[in-house]
Amino acid sequence: MDTLTVKCPDCKTILIVDRKTGEVLEVRKPILEDGTGDRFEDARRKVLDSQGRAEKLFQEAREKEKGKMARLEALFNEKKEELKDQPITRPDRPNDFD
């Protein structure tokens, strides 16, 4: 093979260089900042991390909805208690006025 693989120790970028001309043929930037340098392993870690973040956001949204439902239930029960002693009347309907 006529290429040379060079890895930057600082930014972990991998350069594929032509041995004869010294021309940079390909630049492979790391997928993760703290990556291993193996692009497949880094991509796998990135997917797993994004799944974990998505699960965390879903759980937060679920807890928020539970809190919202509890507040609505309390408000409903409060209004129900307020109206408990009032007599039940039939609402006026437009057809009743004919």
d(CA 29, CA 38): 11
d(CA 98, CA 84): 32
| Per-residue pLDDT tens listing for the chain (98 residues) | 688 888 888 877 888 899 899 898 988 887 766 666 677 887 888 888 888 899 999 999 998 888 898 899 999 999 999 888 888 888 788 777 65
d(CA 56, CA 33): 22
Residues 29, 31, 18: CA angle, nearest 5 degrees:
25
d(CA 13, CA 18): 16
